[in-house]
């Protein structure tokens, strides 16, 4: 414990080439990139599944299968396959991002299609009654109503991605995982514990931010209390 | 009413099922630390715990020790692929979980005495013996060594006319070095390269010590120079060039059996010393090659080698 | 594949150890999370600190927890108990909110009926609340099971024997076979855990036809 404090409070550890600020930025970059890509994939997919009802079986099983992937194994495999074909940073970055995206897609996908599915039938009915087309229904009614669960899915994904982005360090990249592995290698347990604490704090901060975002983005007309939807559906596995 | 009373027996059934699953799991996980390899024929049958670090050479050496000890009549339990030197040393000195470990004279000495300076094999060995705590003993060392090396590709060597580390002095400022994280602070890493050779690299990438990351990074150009071990098949085959070390920054690293003092006995010493005597540089290279390049099983490779050579 | 055939007994042993390191914490974690969730549900003021606090534990990177456990528990460095306790912590982190939600989801009418029949609160917990909470708990447990199987494999970085060791072995020798076997092994194991939990949940809730979470 005390080792951790002394490492964290040492000013020299925060700046410079190997410093906390840099690693924090790198960590956020790896995580943000993965979350962005995952959202780009999962949200449209989830909207489609929720709106049309097609492919639900596929979506559920894809979610389950991706959840079960052991991240470390996937990381090694991805690096062994891709590493030789990519030049520069990409050789390390692409495999890492692949794993992080695979981790982030299930919660976002599940949150999105669950969110759309549980939209009140009455609301849908009213929309149709007002003459909305399918697409208008999706974008103006279902999507806004699905937002609470969707954002909840993103929060869940963010938590796991931030916790797992530490794996980037295994491939020699930066990020907060660097402190974990370097600390392990040099027997500097203050560094290791400090790195772990930083990851936890970062995750907490991001979660709070996203919670605030959720409050801002979700229409006040929605109480946010959905019909007995067990939120566990969007809490996912992590490595 | 009926419903509620039905629930109790159900939950009992569920608990029973859970307990059964647990027991099954526990059976599978019996003594999770060891891979039992059976008894030797005759001998005293004492159980010896052999460990290894998490790179193929260490694993195959541990298998060699294990086979030799079994042939001598001991019962061997192996705990392989331990990732950190501190972890397995503590397991030997503090908690007596391990008894025998294949080690390297230079680095082990450095672990206990950071200021050690010798570089010739016998001197390093003597310094090691002096630095070890009482709970640990080293037996006879093998002629075979596996040293750290700064390695470059054929192209890089040709481009900058590199044959020794000293040649890097003027060009390192344009080059990236890759190595294990501890090279940032250890005397065998960046600090040592600077103080002994005046070599300062443009950048350092934390990868692994002589592992697949560093190898690939070297081959694919993410780094220009890397830390690869001298017994790696790529170095032996000449694909990569190990730069010479005239100032002996990298001390001798003879393979030596590290033993927990308490378990020392004649039969054990004889078995392991016989291994050391037979382990020449060529033999070591062959062992590593079989496991890394030919993807053969360390246990089989070790068993065959011990049968033929010891 | 021939590699698997040649090394079947080794793989099986690693599988067994993996089951132990991932499975036992599920049970232990459940035993801890349910009471915690019950407290959180009964005392709303404590709910946020308990749920958020335990949830935060999930973000502590596994390598760090495995390494730092010996100094907290006083166990040996190589002791798999370190992994066991760490995994239990992760399971509790995942399940506490679920348990709290699950107990919250018990219909008020059922609770009131039980109280009206004179069932004491503790007995009601065991005979009414918990059985009704099983579907949601099971859903959470399934997620925790899959998560555990994956996290345990990371322990390969510090040398704890389990399926993850196939990853590091394969990687260090540039050998895809053990890597692939390890990944498939983890997937299969996750699937088996999932099925076992679903079956057990169904056995425990005979009144539920069809829809489980």
Cα radius of gyration rounded to whole Å, chain C: 20
Per the model's pLDDT, the better-predicted residue between A217 and C36 turns out to be C36
Nearest to C173 among B25, B35, B292 (CB): B292
Cα radius of gyration rounded to whole Å, chain A: 20
Q: How many CB pairs under 8 A join A and B?
A: 51
Half-sphere exposure of C198 (CA within 13 A, CB side): 12
Contact assignment for A181 to B84 by CB distance below 8 Å: no
DSSP state at residue B142: P
Give me the percent of chain B exceeding a pLDDT of 70.
Answer: 86
**Min Cα–Cα distance to chain B from A31, Å:** 20
Which residues does A167 contact at the CB level (< 8 Å), separation at least 6?
A71, A72, A75, A96, A99, A177, A239
The answer to whether residue B112 neighbours chain A at the CB level (below 8 Å) is: no
Q: Are A97 and A30 in contact (CB under 8 A)?
A: yes
Note the pLDDT of residue B13: 46
Q: From the CB of residue B303, how many other CB atoms can be counted at a distance below 10 Å?
A: 19
Give the residue-averaged pLDDT of B153-175. Answer: 89
What number of H helices and E strands is found in chain A? Answer: 10, 0
**Min Cα–Cα distance to chain B from A170, Å:** 8
Distance separating alpha carbons of residues A202 and A208, to the nearest angstrom: 10
Across the strands, what pairs with B244?
Answer: B164
Cα-based distances in Å from A11 to A14, A19, A195, A205, B188 = 6, 9, 15, 22, 27
Contact list, B204 vs chain A (CB under 8 Å): none
Contact assignment for C200 to B56 by CB distance below 8 Å: no
Across the strands, what pairs with B104?
Answer: B255
The answer to whether residue B86 neighbours chain A at the CB level (below 8 Å) is: yes
Tell me the per-residue pLDDT of B75-123, one tens digit each, with 9 for 90 and over.
Answer: 999 888 887 787 788 888 888 889 999 999 988 988 888 777 788 899 9
Contact list, A233 vs chain C (CB under 8 Å): 139, 213
Q: Are B168 and B225 in contact (CB under 8 A)?
A: yes
Note the pLDDT of residue A59: 87
Note the pLDDT of residue B41: 39
Nearest to B97 among C10, C78, C159 (CB): C78
Kindly tell me if the per-residue pLDDT of B27 is higher than 90: no
How buried is residue A57: exposed, middle or buried, by Cβ count under 10 Å (0-12/13-18/19+)?
Answer: exposed
Kindly tell me if the per-residue pLDDT of C173 is higher than 90: no
Q: Are C84 and C25 in contact (CB under 8 A)?
A: yes
Closest chain A residue to C135 measured between Cα atoms? A230
User: Binning pLDDT at 50, 70 and 90, where does residue C48 land?
Assistant: confident
Tell me the per-residue pLDDT of A164-175, one tens digit each, with 9 for 90 and over.
Answer: 999 899 888 989
Closest chain C residue to B232 measured between Cα atoms? C173
The answer to whether residue A43 neighbours chain B at the CB level (below 8 Å) is: no
Closest chain B residue to A83 measured between Cα atoms? B216
Classified as helix, coil or strand, B77 is strand
Closest chain A residue to B176 measured between Cα atoms? A88
Would you mind telling me the total number of residues written for chain B in this entry? 310
Distance separating alpha carbons of residues C127 and C144, to the nearest angstrom: 25
Which chains border B (3 or more CB–CB pairs < 8 Å)? A, C
H/E stretch holding B114 reads none
Kindly tell me if the per-residue pLDDT of B297 is higher than 70: yes
- For chain C, give the DSSP string: -HHHHHTHHHHHHHHHHHHHHHHHHHHHHHHHHHHHHHHHHH-HHHHHHHHHHHHHHTTS-HHHHHHHHHHHH---TT-THHHHHHHHHHHHHHHHHHHHHHHHTS-HHHHHHHHHTT--HHHHIIIIIHHHHHHHHHHHHHHHHHHHHHHHHHGGGGT--STHHHHHHHHHTT-HHHHHHHHHHHHHHHHHHHHHHHHHHHHH-TT--S---
Nearest 5°: the CA angle C111, C116, C121 is 55
Q: From the CB of residue B208, how many other CB atoms can be counted at a distance below 10 Å?
A: 25
Kindly tell me if the per-residue pLDDT of A128 is higher than 80: yes
Kindly tell me if the per-residue pLDDT of A214 is higher than 80: yes
Contact assignment for B206 to A88 by CB distance below 8 Å: no
Per the model's pLDDT, the better-predicted residue between A117 and A233 turns out to be A117
Q: Are A183 and A232 in contact (CB under 8 A)?
A: no
The answer to whether residue A88 neighbours chain B at the CB level (below 8 Å) is: yes
Contact list, B220 vs chain A (CB under 8 Å): 83-84, 86-87, 91
Half-sphere exposure of C15 (CA within 13 A, CB side): 21
Note the pLDDT of residue A236: 55
User: Binning pLDDT at 50, 70 and 90, where does residue A223 land?
Assistant: low
Distance separating alpha carbons of residues A235 and A238, to the nearest angstrom: 10
Burial B80-96 (b: 16+ CB within 10 A, else e): bbbbbbebbbbbbbeee
Distance separating alpha carbons of residues B175 and C168, to the nearest angstrom: 29
Mean pLDDT of chain C: 86
Question: Token pair for residue B146?
Answer: 């596996």
Nearest to B220 among A84, A178, A185 (CB): A84
Distance separating alpha carbons of residues B210 and B292, to the nearest angstrom: 12
Question: Token pair for residue B3?
Answer: 């419903």
Contact assignment for A180 to C190 by CB distance below 8 Å: no
Interface residue ranges in chain A relative to chain C, Cβ cutoff 8 Å: 64-65, 67-74, 76-77, 79-80, 159, 162-163, 166, 170, 177, 180-181, 184, 189, 192-193, 195-196, 199-200, 203-204, 228, 230-233, 235-239
How buried is residue B174: exposed, middle or buried, by Cβ count under 10 Å (0-12/13-18/19+)?
Answer: exposed
Note the pLDDT of residue A19: 84
Nearest CA to C160 out of C95, C91, C90, C75 is that of C75
Give the residue-averaged pLDDT of B28-50. Answer: 54
Nearest CA to A167 out of A27, A66, A49 is that of A27
Contact assignment for B220 to A83 by CB distance below 8 Å: yes
Would you mind telling me the total number of residues written for chain A in this entry? 239
Contact assignment for A192 to C191 by CB distance below 8 Å: no
Note the pLDDT of residue A230: 54
Contact assignment for A230 to C139 by CB distance below 8 Å: yes
Which residues does C61 contact at the CB level (< 8 Å), separation at least 6?
A163, A166, A177, A180, A195, A196, A199
Contact assignment for A182 to B178 by CB distance below 8 Å: no
Q: Are C77 and A189 in contact (CB under 8 A)?
A: no
CA torsion sign for A31, A33, A34, A35 is: positive
Give the sheet arrangement for strand B136-138, strand by strand: B35-36, B75-82, B47-53, B100-104, B255-260, B136-138
Nearest CA to B98 out of B135, B55, B151, B56 is that of B135
Pairing of β B136-138 and β B255-260: antiparallel
The answer to whether residue B27 neighbours chain C at the CB level (below 8 Å) is: yes
């Amino acid at each position: 414990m005390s080792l951790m404090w002394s490492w964290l409070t040492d000013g020299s550890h925060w700046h410079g080439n190997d410093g906390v600020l840099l690693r924090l930025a790198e960590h956020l970059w790896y995580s943000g990139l993965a979350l962005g890509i995952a959202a780009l994939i999962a949200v449209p997919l989830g909207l489609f599944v929720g709106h049309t009802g097609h492919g639900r079986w596929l979506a559920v099983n894809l979610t389950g299968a991706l959840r079960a992937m052991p991240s470390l194994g996937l990381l090694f495999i991805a690096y062994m396959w891709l590493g030789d074909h990519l030049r520069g940073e990409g050789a390390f970055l692409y495999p890492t991002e692949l794993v992080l995206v695979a981790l982030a897609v299930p919660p976002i996908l599940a949150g999105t299609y669950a969110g759309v599915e549980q939209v009140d039938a009455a609301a849908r009915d009213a929309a149709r009654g007002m003459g909305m087309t399918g697409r208008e229904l999706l974008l103006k009614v279902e999507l806004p109503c699905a937002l609470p669960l969707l954002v909840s899915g993103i929060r869940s994904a963010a938590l796991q991605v931030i916790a797992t982005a530490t794996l980037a360090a295994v491939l020699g990249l930066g990020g907060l995982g660097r402190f974990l592995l370097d600390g392990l290698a040099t027997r500097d347990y203050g560094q290791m514990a400090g790195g772990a604490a930083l990851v936890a704090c970062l995750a907490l901060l991001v979660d709070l931010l996203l919670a605030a975002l959720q409050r801002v983005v979700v229409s006040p007309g929605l109480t946010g209390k959905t019909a007995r939807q067990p939120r566990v559906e969007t809490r996912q596995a992590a490595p | 009413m009926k419903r509620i009373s039905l629930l109790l027996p159900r939950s009992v059934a569920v608990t029973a099922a859970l307990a059964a699953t647990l027991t099954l799991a526990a059976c599978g996980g019996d003594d999770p630390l060891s891979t039992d390899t059976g008894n030797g024929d005759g001998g005293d049958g004492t159980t010896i715990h052999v460990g290894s670090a998490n790179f193929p050479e260490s694993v195959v050496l541990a298998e060699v020790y294990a086979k030799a000890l079994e042939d001598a009549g001991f019962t061997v339990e192996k705990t392989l692929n331990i990732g950190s030197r501190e972890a397995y040393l503590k397991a030997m000195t503090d908690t007596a979980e391990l008894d025998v470990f294949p080690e390297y004279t230079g680095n082990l000495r450095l672990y206990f005495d950071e200021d050690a300076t010798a570089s010739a094999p016998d001197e390093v060995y003597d310094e090691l013996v002096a630095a070890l705590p009482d709970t640990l003993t080293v037996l006879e060392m093998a002629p075979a060594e596996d040293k750290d090396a700064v390695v470059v590709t054929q192209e890089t060597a040709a481009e900058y006319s590199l044959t020794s580390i000293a040649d890097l002095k003027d060009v390192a400022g344009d080059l990236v070095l890759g190595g294990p994280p501890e090279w940032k602070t250890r005397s065998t890493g960046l600090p040592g390269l600077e103080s002994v050779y005046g070599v300062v690299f443009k950048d350092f990438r934390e990868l692994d010590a002589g592992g697949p990351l560093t190898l690939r990074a070297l081959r694919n150009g993410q780094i220009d120079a890397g830390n690869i071990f001298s017994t790696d098949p790529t170095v032996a085959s000449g694909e990569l060039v190990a730069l010479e070390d005239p100032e002996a920054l990298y001390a001798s690293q003879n393979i030596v059996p590290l033993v927990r003092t308490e378990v020392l006995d004649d039969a054990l010493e004889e078995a392991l010393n016989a291994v050391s005597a037979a382990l020449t540089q060529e033999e070591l290279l062959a062992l590593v090659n079989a496991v890394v390049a030919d993807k053969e099983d360390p246990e089989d490779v070790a068993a065959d080698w011990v049968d033929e050579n010891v | 594949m021939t590699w698997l055939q040649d090394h079947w007994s080794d793989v099986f042993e690693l599988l067994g150890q993996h089951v132990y390191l991932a499975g036992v914490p599920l049970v232990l974690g459940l035993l801890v999370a349910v009471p915690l969730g019950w407290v959180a549900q009964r005392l709303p003021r404590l709910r946020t600190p308990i749920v958020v606090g335990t949830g935060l534990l999930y973000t502590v990177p596994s390598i760090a927890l495995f390494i730092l456990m010996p100094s907290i528990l006083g166990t040996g460095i190589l002791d798999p108990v370190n992994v066991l306790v760490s995994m239990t912590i992760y399971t509790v982190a995942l399940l506490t909110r679920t348990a709290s939600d699950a107990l919250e989801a018990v219909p008020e009418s059922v609770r009131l009926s039980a109280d009206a029949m004179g069932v004491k609160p503790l007995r009601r917990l065991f005979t009414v609340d918990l059985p009704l909470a099983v579907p949601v708990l099971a859903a959470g447990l399934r997620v925790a099971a899959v998560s555990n199987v994956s996290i345990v494999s990371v322990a390969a970085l510090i040398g704890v024997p389990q399926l993850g060791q196939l990853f590091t072995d394969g990687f260090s020798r540039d050998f895809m076979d053990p890597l692939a076997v390890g990944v498939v092994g983890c997937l299969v194991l996750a699937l088996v855990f999932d099925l076992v939990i679903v079956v057990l949940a169904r056995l425990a809730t005979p009144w539920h036809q069809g829809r489980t979470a």
